[in-house]
Structure 1
Amino acid sequence: MGSGCAGVAPCPCSTAASRRGRGRALSSSTSLMRLSQSTVVPRAADTTADELTLRNPTNGGRMIFISVASQRDNLGDSLLRRPLIAAGQACGTCHVYVGEGAEDWTNLGLRSVDRLYTDRRKWMFALARSAVLRRTTLLLNAGELLPDRRFLVSRALLLPVILASRARGGRLIHAGFGLRDPNAKVPAIARLIASLSDVATWRDEASRSAAGIGTVAPDWAFGEGASPEHVSERHHEQSDRRVLALSLRGDRPPPPAAWLDEVRRVVSEDLDATVVVVVQVRRDGDRNAWLAKELGAELIDWPEEADHAEQERRVRSVYSRATWIGSNRLHAVIMAVTEGAVPLDLVPDQSQKVPRALAVVDLALLPAQGARERVKADQTDVRGALASGRKRLTGLATAISRVSGGKRRRRYRVLHTVSAPDRTTRYARHMAATEDYEVRPVFLSWRNALTRPVDAVHVHWPEHLVPAGSSVRARHDRALAAALIRRIQREKIPVIRTVHNLTPHQETGDRTGAHLREALTALTRAEIHLVPNDPQVSAGSVHLVPHGSYREPYADVVGGSPLPARVLHFGRIEGYKGVPELLAAAAESEVGELRIVGSPSDRDVSREVIRAAEADGRVTYQFGFVPDVDLAREIGEASLCVFPYRELHSSGAILVALSLSRPILVPRTTTTEALQGEVGSQWVRIYESLDGAELDAALRWSHEALSTGSRPDLSDRSWQLIRERHKHVTLSVVGSPANPRS
């Protein structure tokens, strides 16, 4: 297969000319490659590459095998593989398979001691030999995972080598993957290999949820680009001269004339910007040349004589002066963001890969409406996202280095007393997303509760775990809870409890159940409060961990556009949620439509909704479970979401509405006052009494919030922060001196 290098060769970047030329093409950028600079070992004059790598690998004899074969005409593939290689280089000598055309990969940061392969068979043979002879680390290729026949065959060939390597104490790193279609079934072999990995990360929450294992880390490409200082300087130096960078995929149908007209309008009216069209993938050249001609814009093409390093320098030069970026190429958006550009929702993207990856660093494709007025605030968000994203990638590289160099560590298993997530937005999905390099959540079942290893038990809603009543289901659940409590007492397993409600929303009068719940409370060593200033319910330590937002799970769900005067109430329809009061207020108001959506658990309330809809055509409803896609559309079409709860302690529905950038109307409680202080009065309106006049005033207020095109500040509720805080609580109990299992 290989040519030029005859299948295997010393890295071509080892020459002085390459170091002075292409190696410096990106010298102004920061990169995770710096992690590996201290590991470069100069080659002795009388030592061949084969002898060096097999006889004297760096970092204590560790052998690192990495596959980075990818599309040769795509800058994005270089961007995400360069930091992956750097993470491997920090661990030892790297054997890197690049595929054919090694001359195109001179900007990957390879060292003179690294081995470069252009023949996959030779790389596989070297990997298998090393896996049998010594402890070997395999870093799987990052990027998009498409489970086609070629992928399945490739993984099937790798699996025996992986198993042999693990038998010798080898390590497997599965970092930076994203599923092309997270809604499709994930092949069993893909799940198996992810489960065998010592580090398993996905570049978006939808992929992690579909796989059911691993954690989420930003796309490796966020580790590249300008330093935070340079980005900040550019933002402060940018004058009234605004630039919009555009880049289109060439493998999609051409956009219609209506889209071109809308882009022209946005550029002239909303942005008042100059347009530059960029070719980031060589085969996209014709499509982007056409776009530049249609818009009368400057074109940055990809000349035949320009290699990857040269084209990356040309493209980054454009992005460094761009105010905004619009593209359906994921790594075009990420590269522009790493140079300081603000991502805009201008180019249709059916795959939704771009918003999924941006949500991991708390960014989104923002509307062009209001972009010019809020540009400084949006640029501040970009700088914050880059800082946090790079910090997380550094943590990922550190985790890879730690597992490659040390003993295999068993992660702490935390049993959550809720059923396993089903890929909807139930709270269990939040808990599944708390998986970390040190903590793995598992969920309630007889097998997990009674036989499998558990390092901590995390109790949610004790009234659900130990229900009242005499039904078969209630007796079954109490038996399971009693067995679990006996195991906790016998094995001295620490208990964590999340206080979801101050008072249960369902019956808890059963004497046996009350006894079991009291036993759980006595065993609690740490309790998590979702809102500040809650009373303590146990003798355990108290930790404030707010309810996470829903931006990551809803990132790939397309919402609708707000309809004038449409008010929405959604969620489980229960007696304490004040739906009758909302119906009465709507009858006195001028709202165009009151929409009630959710599963009714109170028959009296559901009958009242039906009667109101029959009497007033403005009232509509949809009872039953609502899938995420439909719920996002319902929320998107609302101008205002109302939650008239008679008791409001913590509400996931409220955070769903805010996560999808819809203003909310809520009663005054300590919780809603704290929420308004957190995200601002622009998004949270508090009422003293709900009537028609208040609804009308709230609608006028919501229109002002929606006109800005901004988003509420939910940064303190990002899933990464929630993940870190849950890990802190877990480690505080499993690693405490009071825990004999630590």
Structure 2
Amino acid sequence: MLLLDPSLFSPLYAQHFASGMRAFGTEVVLATRRLRGYETLARDHLDVRPVFYRLTERGGGRWRTSRTVKILKALEHPLGWRAVRELVSRLEIGVIHVSWSLVPAIDSAFLAGLKERAGIFMTVHNADLVAHDMAAVSGRLGRWTQSWRRERLLALIDGFVAHTDQAVDSLSRLGIEPSRIRLVRRPPYRLRPDGAVGPRSRAEAGRPVEILFFGAIKPYKGLDLLLDSALALAAQGKDFRVTVAGRPFLDLAPWRTRIEEAGLGERFRFDLDYVPDDRLDRYLRDADIVVFPYREIDGSGALALAASYGGAIVASAVGVFAEPPVRDHVALVPAEDVEALTATLRRLIVDPEARAELASKSAVLAERLGDWRDYARACLDFYRQRTEGRPLRG
């Protein structure tokens, strides 16, 4: 099987999906870009082929690149596809599974030429089928690039693997037949190679309650709502610290100035860069509460990671958070309701028993979401069903 993620938007998904596939004897080849100097990718179950963006990604560049570089990458995109075409032929690939499509007009042109050789499937990470990372960086250009000729791409896909009910509904509204859609809930991610989660730190007397917001920081994720809430709680004298860990795609300087002017700098910790796995693992183990104050969302890789750590989870009632089984194992608040968020966090900060009860629900959620063997089995069954029994190679 060939897994396609040209810009490596979802390395954890690739790693975990491949580990599940390996359990059934299916080798996974990942067609992507080369790793940057600060990135890691577990290759135990992956045959990684860095065939995309060989020119623009040479030298292991930083994550923050200019719009000019983004345009150059789009121009270089077909060269990666030429290498993919050679891989499919040489390795006798039986299934091409698209994790992200960045330039549908180009992707569809090459996939059309491969459809007779392999089944073509796609993971629906977001209901609108747009890679938020690209849209956030490239703005209107990114969204236009991802929408042009999208219908042609969708027509080529044999089957869509959706992670949420919202994604299923979105595909249905696009006219995708139910037989081409398979709902498979995304299991938890784990950062440690052995799958273990280290011992969690719990809030003790004299130590502030640790609140964590992590992941790429974009407007739709509502960090401003959490900061508003935290400032209100600090003014009430509540004992906590907020850690913000991730790459910012918006200007946080006004917020940091406001925090410092209020004399509350010690209540906030900002780690505004790519966060390596070992540091993120430490943040998650130390977190008493993980907050997802999103304005909108469909699926959430961050939730898949947080669930495996057993901390209390607070989230907006949108997307996957409002769907079963997640909604029964997290504290939900209305989206963009700072007062409700503040009230929920206040209760969890001052009441250790309430916090522990919610944390225990998070641990149960990790079990309810299943494992990656189950995920891989469901995908393999779907491949066979949609390719009408054609032998799947690779």
Equivalent residues of 1:665, 1:687 under 8 A apart: yes
* TM superposition shift of 1:581: 1.0
Residue 728 in structure 1 maps to residue 377 in structure 2: no
* TM superposition shift of 1:570: 0.6
What per-residue deviation string (whole Å, max 9, x for no partner) do you get for residues 188-207 of structure 1? xxxxxxxxxxxxxxxxxxxx
* TM superposition shift of 1:709: 8.1
How far, CA to CA, are the matches of 1:578 and 1:670 in structure 2? 14
Q: Report the equivalent of 2:5.
A: 418
* TM superposition shift of 1:492: 5.3
How far, CA to CA, are the matches of 2:241 and 2:392 in structure 1? 58
How far, CA to CA, are the matches of 1:648 and 1:663 in structure 2? 20
Q: Report the equivalent of 2:13.
A: 427
Q: Which amino acid aligns with 2:4?
A: T
How far, CA to CA, are the matches of 2:322 and 2:298 in structure 1? 11
Q: How many residues align?
A: 307
Q: Which amino acid aligns with 1:549?
A: P
- Report % sequence identity: 24
Equivalent residues in 2 for 1:500-515 (5 A)?
A: 500-503=125-128, 504=130, 505=132, 506=135, 507=139, 514-515=147-148
What per-residue deviation string (whole Å, max 9, x for no partner) do you get for residues 501-553 of structure 1? 12223157677764443222001121111012532243452111111212474
Residue 548 in structure 1 maps to residue 187 in structure 2: yes
How far, CA to CA, are the matches of 1:420 and 1:515 in structure 2? 19
How far, CA to CA, are the matches of 2:16 and 2:228 in structure 1? 35
- 2:331 pairs with 644, 662, 685, which one? 685
Residue 622 in structure 1 maps to residue 275 in structure 2: no
Equivalent residues in 2 for 1:253-652 (5 A)?
A: 414-419=1-6, 426-435=12-21, 436-444=23-31, 445=51, 446=80, 447-452=83-88, 453-462=92-101, 465-466=102-103, 481=107, 484-489=110-115, 491=116, 493-503=118-128, 504=130, 505=132, 506=135, 507=139, 514-532=147-165, 534-535=168-169, 536=171, 537=174, 538-539=176-177, 541-551=180-190, 553=192, 555-556=195-196, 558=198, 560-563=200-203, 564-589=208-233, 590-602=238-250, 604=251, 606-615=252-261, 616-617=264-265, 618-652=267-301
Equivalent residues in 2 for 1:124-139 (5 A)?
A: none
* TM superposition shift of 1:634: 0.8
Equivalent residues of 2:312, 2:358 under 8 A apart: no
Q: Which amino acid aligns with 1:633?
A: R
What per-residue deviation string (whole Å, max 9, x for no partner) do you get for residues 99-147 of structure 1? xxxxxxxxxxxxxxxxxxxxxxxxxxxxxxxxxxxxxxxxxxxxxxxxx
Equivalent residues of 2:162, 2:181 under 8 A apart: yes
Q: Which amino acid aligns with 2:27?
A: R
- 1:713 pairs with 332, 345, 365, which one? 365
Equivalent residues of 1:581, 1:644 under 8 A apart: yes
How far, CA to CA, are the matches of 1:418 and 1:652 in structure 2? 15
What per-residue deviation string (whole Å, max 9, x for no partner) do you get for residues 163-214 of structure 1? xxxxxxxxxxxxxxxxxxxxxxxxxxxxxxxxxxxxxxxxxxxxxxxxxxxx
Equivalent residues of 2:299, 2:319 under 8 A apart: no
How far, CA to CA, are the matches of 2:148 and 2:313 in structure 1? 40
How far, CA to CA, are the matches of 2:392 and 2:304 in structure 1? 37
- 2:344 pairs with 694, 704, 726, which one? 694
Q: CA, structure 1 residues 612+442, in 2 after alignment: closer, same or farther (shift >3 Å)?
A: farther
What per-residue deviation string (whole Å, max 9, x for no partner) do you get for residues 433-457 of structure 1? 2324353222223433434322122
What per-residue deviation string (whole Å, max 9, x for no partner) do you get for residues 42-79 of structure 1? xxxxxxxxxxxxxxxxxxxxxxxxxxxxxxxxxxxxxx
Equivalent residues of 1:549, 1:718 under 8 A apart: yes
* TM superposition shift of 1:706: 2.7
* TM superposition shift of 1:557: 5.2
Q: Secondary structure of the equivalent of 2:323?
A: helix
Q: CA, structure 1 residues 627+656, in 2 after alignment: closer, same or farther (shift >3 Å)?
A: same
Equivalent residues of 1:420, 1:428 under 8 A apart: no
How far, CA to CA, are the matches of 1:583 and 1:545 in structure 2? 34
Q: Secondary structure of the equivalent of 1:634?
A: helix
Q: Secondary structure of the equivalent of 2:198?
A: coil
Q: Which amino acid aligns with 1:624?
A: D
* TM superposition shift of 1:672: 1.6
Q: Secondary structure of the equivalent of 2:365?
A: coil
Equivalent residues of 2:214, 2:245 under 8 A apart: yes
How far, CA to CA, are the matches of 1:708 and 1:641 in structure 2? 11
Q: Which amino acid aligns with 1:690?
A: V
Equivalent residues of 1:494, 1:523 under 8 A apart: no
How far, CA to CA, are the matches of 2:153 and 2:289 in structure 1? 41
Q: Report the equivalent of 1:67.
A: none
* TM superposition shift of 1:695: 1.9
Q: CA, structure 1 residues 733+670, in 2 after alignment: closer, same or farther (shift >3 Å)?
A: same
Give TM-score, length-normalised by structure 2.
Answer: 0.68
Q: CA, structure 1 residues 515+593, in 2 after alignment: closer, same or farther (shift >3 Å)?
A: closer
CA RMSD in angstroms comes to 3.2
Q: Secondary structure of the equivalent of 2:338?
A: coil
Gapped regions of structure 1 (runs ≥ 5): 1-413, 468-477
Equivalent residues of 1:415, 1:449 under 8 A apart: no
How far, CA to CA, are the matches of 1:698 and 1:704 in structure 2? 6
Give TM-score, length-normalised by structure 1.
Answer: 0.38
How far, CA to CA, are the matches of 2:25 and 2:357 in structure 1? 43
Q: Which amino acid aligns with 1:566?
A: E
Q: Secondary structure of the equivalent of 2:220?
A: helix
Q: Which has the higher contact order (CA 8 A, sep 6+)?
A: 2
Equivalent residues of 2:244, 2:269 under 8 A apart: yes
Q: CA, structure 1 residues 584+628, in 2 after alignment: closer, same or farther (shift >3 Å)?
A: same
How far, CA to CA, are the matches of 2:323 and 2:282 in structure 1? 28
* TM superposition shift of 1:627: 1.7
Q: CA, structure 1 residues 714+612, in 2 after alignment: closer, same or farther (shift >3 Å)?
A: same
Q: Secondary structure of the equivalent of 2:123?
A: strand
Q: Which amino acid aligns with 1:526?
A: G
What per-residue deviation string (whole Å, max 9, x for no partner) do you get for residues 348-372 of structure 1? xxxxxxxxxxxxxxxxxxxxxxxxx
How far, CA to CA, are the matches of 1:441 and 1:548 in structure 2? 18
Q: Which amino acid aligns with 1:455?
A: G
Q: Secondary structure of the equivalent of 1:649?
A: coil
How far, CA to CA, are the matches of 1:648 and 1:512 in structure 2? 21
Q: Secondary structure of the equivalent of 1:717?
A: coil
Equivalent residues of 1:640, 1:702 under 8 A apart: no
Q: Report the equivalent of 1:189.
A: none
Gapped regions of structure 2 (runs ≥ 5): 32-50, 52-79
